[in-house]
Structure 1
Amino acid sequence: MSGRVTYEYALLRVVPRIERGEAINAGVLLHCRQRDVLAVRVHLDRARLAALDPYADADAVADVLETIAAVAAVPEPPRSDRHSTGALAARGPGAGEDIGRRFRRLTTPRSTIVQPGPVHTGLTADPHAEADRLLERLVLPPAPE
């Protein structure tokens, strides 16, 4: 047995002008049910965003990306706390949801400037390292050779 587990991931795409359909990749959402992991990595390349739309509000886009990361990072409350409205509200958006449900909510298609791409699957031994690898390979600018 290799110790590898199945994971799902989706890219976070920034589409500054929806009518044009042009996008840049700005993050990765990764969910591994077997390891109980919901990992998010974000990186906004402001120069690439400005190349697509010089009037795009990069600060607002960065705020949306950070909000998505924050929603994903909310820990699940203990089982006894799940029905306590006050305890859940204090934890913020996404509190009370298991991470699989949160991943599904964050990857639901929407028509906004920050959109999740389609969900893909893979195998990994380390979901957190895989999130880093996907960010490097699919989001960050290529390293000079």
Structure 2
Amino acid sequence: MQNKYTFEYAIIRIVPKVEREEFFNVGVILFSKRKKFLGIKYFVNPDKLKAFSSEVTVETFNNYLQAWQQICEGNPLGGKIGAFELSDRFRWLAACRSTIVQSSKTHSGLCVNPQKELEDIFNEYVL
């Protein structure tokens, strides 16, 4: 256990019609304070999106998620939020919201490699 580090993650969800409260998973945000890691991985399946709504395009969601990625990376294109510390950026991204892009409640765990854990969670809950 000495080689394992705590992490937190949230599942990213697309909610095409917020009033219907239907969603599907499109990505994962993972944060590990001790490893100084904040990562995001996402994929919007066009077939799933079409089944939920024909009004919003994949490009629209990809634009939203690219902004989230800029924030994760601390890129200046992430705006003021992108300049926050890692933990604050994670908390902002994982905060409860009622928009068409939402995140689940946060979950925690232990891992050796946060990047690998991000990939594993993505494969399990998104693909």
SS of residue in 2 equivalent to 1:44 = coil
TM-score by length of 1: 0.82
Amino acid at match of 1:68: W
Aligned pairs, number: 125
Provide Cα deviations, 1:9-54, integer angstroms capped at 9, x if missing partner: 0011000011111111011000000100001101111110110112
| Distance in 1 of aligned mates of 2:64 and 2:101 | 7
Amino acid at match of 1:109: C
Is the 1:42–1:69 contact (alpha carbons within 8 Å) kept by the matching residues of 2?
Answer: no
Could you tell me how far 1:2 is from its partner in structure 2?
4.1
Task: Provide structure 1 residue ranges, at least 5 long, that are not aligned to the other structure.
Answer: 76-90, 141-145
Correspondence for 1:13: 13
1:69 maps onto 2:69 in alignment? yes
Correspondence for 2:114: 127
Could you tell me how far 1:119 is from its partner in structure 2?
0.3
Amino acid at match of 2:69: A
SS of residue in 2 equivalent to 1:19 = helix
| Distance in 2 of aligned mates of 1:66 and 1:132 | 18
| Distance in 2 of aligned mates of 1:39 and 1:58 | 21
Higher helix proportion, which one?
2
1:98 maps onto 2:85 in alignment? yes
Change (3 A) 1:66 1:2: same
SS of residue in 1 equivalent to 2:12 = strand
| Distance in 1 of aligned mates of 2:10 and 2:119 | 13
**Between the two proteins, what is the percent identity of the paired residues?**
29
1:27 maps onto 2:20 in alignment? no
Amino acid at match of 1:63: N
Task: Provide structure 2 residue ranges, at least 5 long, that are not aligned to the other structure.
Answer: none
Provide Cα deviations, 1:41-76, integer angstroms capped at 9, x if missing partner: 01111110110112222211111011101111126x
| Distance in 2 of aligned mates of 1:96 and 1:112 | 23
Which protein has the larger Cα radius of gyration, Structure 1 or Structure 2?
1
